[in-house]
Amino acid sequence: MASPPGFPRSLLSEPWSARLAYFQRYTVAHPRLIEVKEKLVAAIQNSEPNSLVFVFGPTGVGKTTLRLKAEQILTAELHVELEQDRGRLAVVSVEAVAPESSRFSWRDHFKRLLLEMDEPLIEYKRDLQAGFVGIRAPARPKPTTGEYRYGVEQALRFRRPAAVMIDEAQHLAKIASGRRLLDQLDVIKSLANRTQAVHVLFGTYDLLAFRNLNGQLSRRSLDVHFPRYRAECAADRRDFISVLRSFAQQLPLSDPPDLANDWEFLYERSIGCVGVLKQWLVRALSAALRGGDAALSRRRLESQALSVAQIDKILSEASEGEMRLMDSNDAASRVRTTRLGAAYPQAAARR
Amino acid sequence: MRQNSLSQLWRGERATGLGKGGQCATLSETQEFFMLPAFEAWDFTVEPITARSRLYSLAPIGIGTAFVESLSGYVERLAEAHAVSAGSLIGKELSNFVRPGRINLGLVSYAINGVGGSAKRWVQALETITSRSDLRHLTLLPFERLLPQPFLFRYVRAWCPACYELMASRSEPIYEPLLWCLKLVEVCPRHRRFLANTCPHCLQSLRPLSAAARPGYCSRCGLWLGDNTSRTAHASSDAVPTEYPLWLADAIGELLASAPRIQPERLRDCARGALLAYANAFAEGNRTAVADMAGCRRGIFYSWFKGDQVPRIDTLLRTWYQLKLPVACLLDGDYPGVPPEAQAKKSLEIRNAREVAPKRSREQIRGALEEALHEEPAPSLTEIARRLGYGTSTRLREADASLCRQIAFKYRKSGRSHWWRRRGAKPICERPRIKKVLEEYLASDSPIPPLDRIAASLGYAVDRSLWQKCPELCRALSAKIEGQKRARVAAIEPALEQALQESPPPSLRQVAKRLGFSAACVLKAHAPDLYERLKTHWQAYARTRRTELQNKLKAVLEENPPPSLRSVYSRLGVTESIVNTSSQNLRREIGLRHLQYQRQQVQERRDSVRAEIREIVGMLHAQGICPSVPRVTSLLKSGSLREWTVIGKAVNDARRELTTD
């Protein structure tokens, strides 16, 4: 098994900003990431055009990296069609921004979508089917939310992207009561329906609140779970350590560190999320390079690690999410045995 | 409950070796960790693709069919797709590409669908902005070489309500066909009824491309223009279109449908070639005959052939209609052959319409004679002469006597000659009938044809039998014919003298027509001095008329306020082409003066509304009310300018003045 090459040795003579940039650009293709990427691309390509795909996982696990890779794959696959039809877009990606007030602003979201699609004349959008606006209007009012939405629908209809990706979709749930939560998702659902475009929502475990709101949604939505590495599982342990070795090889230091030795500490302060781990290593590397160190000492790592309180918070959110997921899986088996009345050997064995 | 599960988790993880306890459990694992491989890196580079089009790459509808979409309709549909009004799209997006500065929608209209420079600029701009390459088929640019620029398009919008309903019922995208933009097309070829040009709801006529235009909807009231059967039928829809408009609509539809296939350089040659082939086939190359038949002025016809003038589309199509030519040969150029009987019949028709024997060269006659020599059954010389349009065979003998002798010999040998001597031969015509016909001619006053023509109409070869059967009648008739001829010739001089006295004097051709002659050279032959005098008189008259017109136009230059060109034409009773050919500079000057005057008017109105707004703003400010734009607008007098860019700017300026004061 030949290992991939480490960082180019010429980097050592470059200034520290270049070395830092090199490490920041590096992305390790660990097995969990690859597996989830395959699932996501398959989900986008095989599902019905108006379906929703939910991608959830703990914060910092690598969802944005996953999104970028999926975009690259979809763009590459559509390359021929994109060259033939210059009006078509491959993928539209937008981030659902957290609102300043307690309510999520759809108007800004639609405007952001239009900007992302390079749509001209955004301030002049009119819903021509809703009502007639004559040419004698003295003061042209700004477009309303409904008009921006109509603009987005038209844009998606004519640009026909392979998928619409909404990052940080947990912000959509920023509303007051449980009933309105369904309304929020209805907006996305009807948009997907009217434009026949696959919508992919990336977010934390808060997205689970959307998942099983009603039966119709459950039928037309697909889940992709992106979990962190769990230390209880031996295979996950091995993968995590291989990740550490990959990172260690790419750290542009003259004296490469042996991260695999300290794997327990590294796991503890990153709880198995490769994103959190990488950001930590970037901070540590930056401090080391600025300090002129030739190696990455344990002390540097400790100084740049997230505090225990922070880790606790992250871990509790992740665990809660994983528990909710387990609960719903149990609920599925409950449906099978009690509601549907069938007896399965797996259920008996688990008990 | 939640706390317990959390601590359970911590415990579980600790048990696997994270923390002080359990290190020994993972020692063996630690040893194998050093042999674990590293993972590959991911590369995020995307293969570069060409830039996306700025506007949606909408596919145009109907290319290659008669109902191809127009470019103005395409712009409207593009604006609808982008959820903006057509005015916003044109003003903000397209104006940068088409020409620098703002586009005035009032001047744009249908000309962008045409053949001029503006059409080319718009097509180029739209093709760049939508990354398409087939948009020139939405205009008449493929027919650039064939069609001249003016007279092509309407000034008001026209549509077929039934077509809109059809599109809506089939859930097809609603669009504006190019057919409806052309002035010539007045009926819908699909539904065979007149196109509508007033909205049934607000009863107003619409501009071709306005800021609020939408395909299928009125641009003034926003309601659906399709066929609403609950409404009572419009007055225009009761009228049934006649044959020519229907043919015209079909012909233009066919032209548009074949637009993608034509070769633009060959168009003018194709039209010319088709006419030439027709002339050769039917009128033996006599182009004047074809021109008369088509109802076209001869001079125009000749200039088409020479290639000086581009034919106007309406005259060209009318010619095609009169000659009953298929539209396809306007584009291909090769005229399809017609069966010889039809050809012969048509030639006879043309020839009889001319009333003059065709002029043939000796070679032509010789060629015809040689052909006839090999014909079966053998024709007689008189038959051949009649076929060629002559009364008798004298000219044939003049051309080639030996051939004629051979033909006659063959005819005699075939046994068809002297048929009247055979047993049981029936007379061609009974004597009472001959008598009746001759008496009719004698009694009538209209010009009598020569005797051998009468004989030919009765079925005889020569008039000998007539003379034999009714000699007195024939003598009287021939005397009458002589008398008529003399009278006609005698009438020339008095007619010419009378024409000299007339004012305005008639042209020579008119005098010839009055007398019943087909050409003016007859007059010249019989009365040459009078002919010359009338000619000079007429030319002098034409010159005085022209100078009169020029003086009148010069007087128009002094008028105040400067009138528009169109009003001048209608006042003086002339058409634009007359003025253009005689005094181009004057025309340009008059037009320029009028334009300047209009601009001045606009400026004055703008200034007056600005002064008014300043007053109103001052008044409102003094009363303590905020002078917002809608409030100021509502207080404006009813006749003042309503251009809201000017109004908005004036209000802002006035307010700024107030704050600085």
B386-421: pLDDT as tens digits: 777 776 788 888 888 888 888 888 888 887 777 777
Q: CA B369 to CA B146: how far, in whole Å? A: 41
Mutate to test the interface with B, among A264, A308, A316, A324 (most CBs of B within 10 A): A264
The pLDDT of residue B12 is: 46
Q: Is the pLDDT of residue B379 over 90?
A: no
Q: Is the pLDDT of residue B1 over 70?
A: no
Average pLDDT for residues B142-159, to the nearest whole number? 79
From A167's Cα to the closest Cα of chain B, the distance in A is 18
Average pLDDT for residues B603-627, to the nearest whole number? 87
A241 inside 8 A of chain B by CB: yes
The tens digit of pLDDT for each residue in A162-193 reads 999 999 998 887 675 555 777 888 888 899 98
Average pLDDT for residues B283-308, to the nearest whole number? 74
Q: How many CB pairs under 8 A join A and B?
A: 172
Q: Is the pLDDT of residue B333 over 50?
A: yes
> What residue in B sits closest to A33 (Cα-Cα)?
B42
Q: How confident is the model at residue B290 (pLDDT cuts 50, 70, 90)?
A: confident
- Residue window 249-268, chain A: list those with CB within 8 Å of chain B: 249-250, 260, 263-264, 267-268
Q: CA B385 to CA A210: how far, in whole Å? A: 101
The pLDDT of residue B536 is: 92
From B133's Cα to the closest Cα of chain A, the distance in A is 11
The pLDDT of residue A216 is: 64
The pLDDT of residue A117 is: 93
Angle at B289 between CA B286 and CA B295, to 5 degrees: 145
Residues of B in contact with A234 (CB under 8 A): 29
Q: CA A172 to CA A99: how far, in whole Å? A: 9
A107 inside 8 A of chain B by CB: no
A30 inside 8 A of chain B by CB: yes
The pLDDT of residue A76 is: 93
A136 inside 8 A of chain B by CB: yes
A141 inside 8 A of chain B by CB: no
Give chain B's end-to-end CA distance (angstroms, integer). 74
Between A317 and B269, whose confidence is greater? A317
Residues of B in contact with A245 (CB under 8 A): 36-38
The tens digit of pLDDT for each residue in A192-233 reads 989 999 999 999 988 887 776 666 666 678 889 999 998 888
The most distant pair of C-alpha atoms in chain B lies apart, rounded to whole Å, by: 153
Asked whether the CA dihedral B275, B276, B281, B286 is positive or negative, the reply is positive
Lowest mean pLDDT among A291-295, B9-13, B277-281, B361-365: B9-13
Of A83, A132, A249, the CB nearest to B38: A249
- What is the C-alpha R_g of chain A? 24
Average pLDDT for residues B304-323, to the nearest whole number? 77
The pLDDT of residue A66 is: 93
Q: Is the pLDDT of residue B558 over 80?
A: yes
The pLDDT of residue B433 is: 85
A87 Cβ contact list (under 8 Å, min separation 6): A158, A159, B52, B53, B55, B56, B57, B58, B130, B131
In 3D space, the residue among A165, A200, A197, A171 whose CA is nearest the CA of residue A184 turns out to be A171
Q: Is the pLDDT of residue B3 over 50?
A: no
Alpha carbon separation from B531 to A239, A254, B521, B535 (Å, rounded) = 116, 117, 9, 6
Q: How many CB atoms lie within 10 A of CB B513?
A: 14
The pLDDT of residue A203 is: 92
Mean pLDDT over the full length of chain A: 84
Average pLDDT for residues B605-619, to the nearest whole number? 87
Q: CA B90 to CA B71: how far, in whole Å? A: 13
The pLDDT of residue B231 is: 41
Contact A138 B47 (CB under 8 A): no
Contact A231 B214 (CB under 8 A): no
The pLDDT of residue B6 is: 43
Collapsing DSSP states into helix, strand and coil, what is residue B501?
helix
Q: Is the pLDDT of residue B374 over 60?
A: yes
The pLDDT of residue B20 is: 41
Percent of chain A with pLDDT over 70: 87
The pLDDT of residue B16 is: 42
Contact A3 B38 (CB under 8 A): yes
The tens digit of pLDDT for each residue in A112-143 reads 999 999 999 888 888 877 666 655 454 567 88
Of B36, B53, B82, the CB nearest to A245: B36
> What residue in B sits closest to A247 (Cα-Cα)?
B38
Mean pLDDT over the full length of chain B: 80
Percent of chain B with pLDDT over 70: 85
The pLDDT of residue B318 is: 82
Q: Is the pLDDT of residue B192 over 60?
A: yes
In 3D space, the residue among B132, B225, B211 whose CA is nearest the CA of residue B174 turns out to be B225
- Residue window 171-230, chain A: list those with CB within 8 Å of chain B: none
Average pLDDT for residues B590-619, to the nearest whole number? 89
Residues of A in contact with B224 (CB under 8 A): none
The tens digit of pLDDT for each residue in A321-337 reads 888 888 777 776 677 67
Between B378 and A115, whose confidence is greater? A115
Q: How confident is the model at residue B275 (pLDDT cuts 50, 70, 90)?
A: confident
The tens digit of pLDDT for each residue in B510-521 reads 888 888 787 788
Q: How confident is the model at residue B4 (pLDDT cuts 50, 70, 90)?
A: very low
Q: Is the pLDDT of residue B148 over 60?
A: yes
The tens digit of pLDDT for each residue in A74-94 reads 999 999 999 998 989 999 999
Q: What are phi and psi of A287, to 5 degrees?
A: -60, -40
The pLDDT of residue B106 is: 64
Contact A231 B220 (CB under 8 A): no
Q: Is the pLDDT of residue B230 over 50?
A: no
Between B625 and B165, whose confidence is greater? B165
Lowest mean pLDDT among B5-9, B183-187, B331-335, B470-474: B5-9
Contact A231 B58 (CB under 8 A): no
Which of B144-153, B304-313, B543-552 is the most confident on average?
B543-552
Average pLDDT for residues B246-251, to the nearest whole number? 89
Check: CB of residue B101 under 8 Å from CB of residue A143.
no
The pLDDT of residue A217 is: 63
The tens digit of pLDDT for each residue in B16-74 reads 444 443 343 455 555 666 677 788 888 888 888 888 888 999 999 999 899 999 998 99
Q: CA A345 to CA B5: how far, in whole Å? A: 28
B251 Cβ contact list (under 8 Å, min separation 6): B317, B320, B321, B327
Q: Is the pLDDT of residue B347 over 70?
A: no
Contact A134 B37 (CB under 8 A): no
B317 Cβ contact list (under 8 Å, min separation 6): B184, B248, B251, B252
Contact B47 A29 (CB under 8 A): no
- Residue window 110-149, chain B: list those with CB within 8 Å of chain A: 130-131
Q: How many CB atoms lie within 10 A of CB B414?
A: 13
The pLDDT of residue A34 is: 93
A5 inside 8 A of chain B by CB: no
The pLDDT of residue B320 is: 81
The pLDDT of residue B581 is: 80
- Residue window 53-82, chain B: list those with CB within 8 Å of chain A: 53-58, 80-82
The tens digit of pLDDT for each residue in A11-55 reads 888 888 888 999 999 999 999 999 999 999 999 998 888 889 999
The pTM assigned to this predicted structure is 0.73
B645 inside 8 A of chain A by CB: no
Between B329 and A244, whose confidence is greater? A244
Contact A76 B46 (CB under 8 A): yes
Residues of A in contact with B45 (CB under 8 A): 72
Percent of chain A with pLDDT over 90: 38
B615 Cβ contact list (under 8 Å, min separation 6): none
B500 inside 8 A of chain A by CB: no
Q: CA B464 to CA B444: how far, in whole Å? A: 23
Secondary structure, 3-state, B399-418: HCHHHHHHHHHHHHHHCCCC
A29 inside 8 A of chain B by CB: yes
Amino acid at B92: K
Between B566 and A216, whose confidence is greater? B566
Q: CA B506 to CA B500: how far, in whole Å? A: 8
Average pLDDT for residues B96-114, to the nearest whole number? 72
The pLDDT of residue B234 is: 46
b/e map B302-324, b = 16+ CB within 10 Å: eebbeeeebbebebbbbbbbebe
Q: Is the pLDDT of residue A338 over 80?
A: no
